[in-house]
Structure 1
Amino acid sequence: MISGPPWGWRRGGRHGNIAVSKFFRDVNAMKRRTVLQLAGLSSTLMGCGGGSSGTDPAPAPAPTPTPDRPNILVIALDDLNNWVGYLGGHPQVKTPAIDALAGQSFAFMKAFSNATECSPSRASVLSGLSVQNTHVYDNTATFKGINPGKDQFEDMLKRSGYQVTRYGKIDHTYSSYPLPMPPSQPVANKTCPAPLGEGSFDWWPSTAADDQHPDYRYTQSGIDFLNSYDSSAPFCLSVGLVHTHVAWYVPQRFFDMYPKQGLQLPSPPADDLDDLGPAGRSVALQYNFHQCVTGQGLWADAVQAYLASISWADSQIGRLLTALANSRHADNTIVVLWSDHGFHLGEKFHWHKLALWDPGVHVPFIVRLPGQTVAHKMSQVVGLRDLAPTLLDYCGVKSTYAMDGRSLRPLLEKPDQSWDYPVLTTRLQYDHAVRTAQWRYIRYQSGEQELYDMQADPSEHYNLAKQAAYAQTIADLDAYMPPLQAS
């Protein structure tokens, strides 16, 4: 079995990569097999559901029956990877609101996006379709633009009598930003904003009042809706936050939560790309961002800003969930939280999105049913395209077309059952990854392959694809991929 640490970290500072040989990683891995735990997360969450706690959980009380037509509150996040407390993705992150929600919900520990950037992912989430069937492959298109007149799950709810309301970014269209807009010139990262646009990959503590930030206003709109809605018709309210999308301009106090001195950063080994082919290396080193960021001595600064943005978004989620708890809708509302895809901050020397490795596709996904207070830590692999059929199932609404995702309701009603449905993730149109409980298999348009044993090597340091012993594993996983084709 291949041994490898769950994470490689180093202390923050203005330095480049610290070279660590694979030999010494293997020796030290035996000492570092313990998965990072969230300080402060309830013991209830860490010890129940999904069969992954290592101990037999106490039998959960019978679930409260879900109303025939429950309300729905959807909270959508942007570019948030697994750096949230309940997922243990970063040892210093502070996400009390998300963790509290996870502590009384079905918290999926292995949820993956079906696409690697915003519009394709959101099209898949809202339709329950694979990228191959939405035909939305990048951010130049939207579901409604490519599929005029075709329903998303909210349209189906609306046709059945639901009041459907959106605030912020849900699909890849959203309300105009209120102030503060990113400045026209970069503030912190002055050298490498291109090709994303001048000032777009930037960060700085904002001096604007909280209520001048887009996320605050979107959240406030959601709060106002919850406080004022008194119709007998059920509602589906969606609130989409902009952060953690760049640019990371959030109030100073959130930066202060993460002093750069002692901040822990991803630490990919110097030889991490040596067993990749040209396509994988090209993705990892896209736009030369890693050299650009580290050349300016900004690695710790960028991680600090990303963590600050996570905690800022978490604070808005806390406001929204408090409003729900204090409203007349508290006991008859399904709450769902998800992020469209992940984000790299130097892992495998990659930055941003558009990568099929774990930091780019492993996302928060939480479902709380009406009246639920018992946590279930779900270890089964699931994809975001399962969200739409799940909500339609609980609302008793039939889809207007056959969805590729499947309802998670049977799993939520029996959380410790086997759930062997691999997740397909697509990058652009022709690069794909398949994720199972044990494996991540990546195949690029060129035919180049990567295979990682995610149980033994969760940081994806050892590409097994060229080893003859894994030929049958690759053949089995290839069956879940679209046919290999030229562009």
Structure 2
Amino acid sequence: MSSCGNNKQEEHNPQKPNVLFISIDDLRPELGCYGKDYIHSPNIDQLAKESTVFTKHFVQIPTCGASRYAMLTGMLPTTRKHLGNNAAVQFISNDTTRQLPETFIHHLKNNGYHTVGIGKISHSADGYVYGYEEPVSEQRELPESWSDLAFDAGKWGTGWNAFFAYSNGENRQSMKRQVKPYENGDVADDGYPDGLTANLALKKLKEVAGQDQPFFMGVGFFKPHLPFNAPQKYWDLYDESSLPLAPFDTIPTNVNKASLNNSGEFNSYQLGEEKASFEKKVSDDYARKLRHGYFASISYVDAQIGKLMAELKRLELYDNTIVVLWGDHGWNLGDYASWGKHTIFERSLNSAFIIKAPGESKAKSVEKIVSTVDFYPTLVELCGLKMPHETDGESLVSLLDGSGESWKDRSYGYYRNGITLRTDRYRLTKYFREASPQIELYDHEVDPNETNNIAEENPDLVAQLMPVLEQGNTGLYK
């Protein structure tokens, strides 16, 4: 694979490849193409048949804004502020001294790409900086990255209202959190915001199809982020009583609760039938109800992605478009008695990641350890451009075309005063805190669900891996 497709393709289409980047909030790798046959994701699965599916992709920070900042910049966190949802606001929006491109999107724009942003690409739901209950501002979260920044908030009025939307036009804020964490609305696809986002993306694809320059289009879908709201027809795809529960739904052995998520965001939905805690898990029936909502939300977004793929093909753009599908982090669906993200365990850091590069036509699965910070150099190389500066990531092109003989095969994650190292077999985590234990070790060969911390009985292995973990300490923790 060349950077812009095979030679025959370049002779007929000298234009640099387009890029369609699809970000999906809270999407763990629970799709048909990841071997989960109980999930209805036919459109993503079809894309996967012509793409490379990364089975061991890990984000760097398990919260939306910080994960997206790492994705956009290709950089690991170096301060505590890099772990927060406002990372882009603090280090991009309000930085008037920046000399380098603010994101890889900005770099593409500087090199002739028409860049279109729709929905949640950085942390903001619509690309503008304002609080959940504030009027929309005119300050862009990414001031220089977009040629065209668009969003349709519909009857909800603002991006953040749409992000927490219910089908009657209300939202979590307007209802003062007196809402359930799920809803099966008797509405069409555009009865929730992601349907409006898909419609707007179709319109924008038609616009860019007639241009002479290549395009980058970022389309950010909200679901399956809480609340798990989707049209009834997607709920109808599932038999709730047969849905699988979390494979491990209690606190791991030899682990402090300080390492885990206490389901605070989930419990803030005041009308939820049950609250979750480490002391009292939700019932199996309610867990299935919630998982039903999460899966229905995936199927709803899958249908919107199907519309985008069909339009790419109708406009004859598909063959020369790099398609990236990315979940900004994982999510605990009752795993470790938790509902939410915000941990540096596998469930929170492992997310869906698929790339279709020009010239690809067959499914391929890559099991090497890759990271979100690898996106920047990968897309720059696929687009035939030069890197403007060094990043903490490494181009994945050698894994896409099979040319690479070696790969670093490790990823770092950061949260809860901790750093975690994921290798092909182990996860080693070190916490900078008083609560014990501070060191956790999991052997994925025998314990893929990370149920038992074996650090204490394996001091030699910890000592062997610790220097590699310390390489990931970028100054964040002293």
TM range (shorter): 0.7 to 0.9
Paired residue for 2:110, among 140, 144, 159?
Answer: 159
Q: 1:161, CA displacement in angstroms?
A: 0.9
- Does residue 202 of structure 2 align to residue 256 of structure 1? no
Q: How does 1:228-307 map to 2 (within 5 A)?
A: 228-229=207-208, 230-268=210-248, 270=250, 272-280=251-259, 283-287=260-264, 290-291=276-277, 294=282, 298-307=286-295
Q: How does 1:346-361 map to 2 (within 5 A)?
A: 346-361=334-349
Paired residue for 1:144, among 83, 92, 97?
Answer: 92
After superposition, the Cα gap between the structure-2 partners of 1:198 and 1:153, relative to the gap in structure 1 and judged at 3 Å, is same
1:198 aligns with 177
2:323 is paired with a residue whose SS is: strand
Percent identity at matched positions? 28
1:79 is paired with a residue whose SS is: coil
- Does residue 195 of structure 2 align to residue 219 of structure 1? no
CA distance in structure 1 between the aligned counterparts of 2:180 and 2:31, rounded to whole angstroms: 21
Preserved contact between residue 66 and residue 86 of structure 2 (Cα < 8 Å): no
Deviations 1:283-306 (A, max 9, x none): 243548533761695211111000
Paired residue for 1:84, among 31, 38, 42?
Answer: 31
After superposition, the Cα gap between the structure-2 partners of 1:410 and 1:211, relative to the gap in structure 1 and judged at 3 Å, is same
After superposition, the Cα gap between the structure-2 partners of 1:197 and 1:121, relative to the gap in structure 1 and judged at 3 Å, is farther
2:464 aligns with 473
After superposition, the Cα gap between the structure-2 partners of 1:139 and 1:368, relative to the gap in structure 1 and judged at 3 Å, is same
Q: 1:169, CA displacement in angstroms?
A: 0.7
Preserved contact between residue 381 and residue 422 of structure 1 (Cα < 8 Å): yes
Paired residue for 1:434, among 407, 421, 425?
Answer: 421
After superposition, the Cα gap between the structure-2 partners of 1:131 and 1:70, relative to the gap in structure 1 and judged at 3 Å, is same
Give the TM-score normalised by the residue count of structure 1: 0.78
CA distance in structure 1 between the aligned counterparts of 2:63 and 2:180, rounded to whole angstroms: 15
Q: 1:479, CA displacement in angstroms?
A: 2.9
CA distance in structure 2 between the aligned counterparts of 1:211 and 1:226, rounded to whole angstroms: 18
Q: How does 1:346-425 map to 2 (within 5 A)?
A: 346-414=334-402, 417-425=405-413
Deviations 1:47-88 (A, max 9, x none): xxxxxxxxxxxxxxx897666621111111000111111223
Q: 1:217, CA displacement in angstroms?
A: 1.4
CA distance in structure 1 between the aligned counterparts of 2:120 and 2:162, rounded to whole angstroms: 17
Paired residue for 2:304, among 284, 309, 316?
Answer: 316
1:9 aligns with none
1:250 is paired with a residue whose SS is: strand
1:47 aligns with none
Q: 1:136, CA displacement in angstroms?
A: 2.4
The one-letter code of the counterpart of 2:368 is Q
After superposition, the Cα gap between the structure-2 partners of 1:63 and 1:418, relative to the gap in structure 1 and judged at 3 Å, is farther
CA distance in structure 1 between the aligned counterparts of 2:222 and 2:361, rounded to whole angstroms: 28
Aligned length: 416
After superposition, the Cα gap between the structure-2 partners of 1:278 and 1:204, relative to the gap in structure 1 and judged at 3 Å, is closer
Q: 1:352, CA displacement in angstroms?
A: 0.6
The one-letter code of the counterpart of 1:203 is Y
Q: 1:415, CA displacement in angstroms?
A: 6.1
Preserved contact between residue 424 and residue 480 of structure 1 (Cα < 8 Å): no
The one-letter code of the counterpart of 1:86 is C
Preserved contact between residue 261 and residue 341 of structure 2 (Cα < 8 Å): no
Per mean C-alpha deviation after superposition, the further-off stretch among 75-84 and 437-446 is: 437-446
Preserved contact between residue 63 and residue 372 of structure 1 (Cα < 8 Å): no
Q: 1:399, CA displacement in angstroms?
A: 3.3
After superposition, the Cα gap between the structure-2 partners of 1:332 and 1:198, relative to the gap in structure 1 and judged at 3 Å, is same
The one-letter code of the counterpart of 1:464 is I
- Does residue 282 of structure 2 align to residue 334 of structure 1? no
The one-letter code of the counterpart of 2:74 is G
CA distance in structure 1 between the aligned counterparts of 2:197 and 2:47, rounded to whole angstroms: 20
Give the TM-score normalised by the residue count of structure 2: 0.79
Q: 1:353, CA displacement in angstroms?
A: 0.8
2:270 aligns with none
After superposition, the Cα gap between the structure-2 partners of 1:419 and 1:252, relative to the gap in structure 1 and judged at 3 Å, is same
Per mean C-alpha deviation after superposition, the further-off stretch among 112-121 and 462-471 is: 462-471
The one-letter code of the counterpart of 2:237 is M
- Does residue 118 of structure 2 align to residue 171 of structure 1? no
The one-letter code of the counterpart of 2:292 is Q
Q: 1:469, CA displacement in angstroms?
A: 4.3
CA distance in structure 2 between the aligned counterparts of 1:76 and 1:372, rounded to whole angstroms: 21
The one-letter code of the counterpart of 1:92 is Y
CA distance in structure 1 between the aligned counterparts of 2:382 and 2:80, rounded to whole angstroms: 23
- Does residue 445 of structure 2 align to residue 455 of structure 1? yes
**Which runs of no fewer than 5 residues in structure 1 stay unpaired?**
1-61, 188-192
- Does residue 430 of structure 2 align to residue 443 of structure 1? yes
Preserved contact between residue 191 and residue 231 of structure 2 (Cα < 8 Å): no
1:406 is paired with a residue whose SS is: coil
CA distance in structure 1 between the aligned counterparts of 2:462 and 2:118, rounded to whole angstroms: 48
Paired residue for 2:45, among 93, 99, 104?
Answer: 99
Q: 1:204, CA displacement in angstroms?
A: 1.0
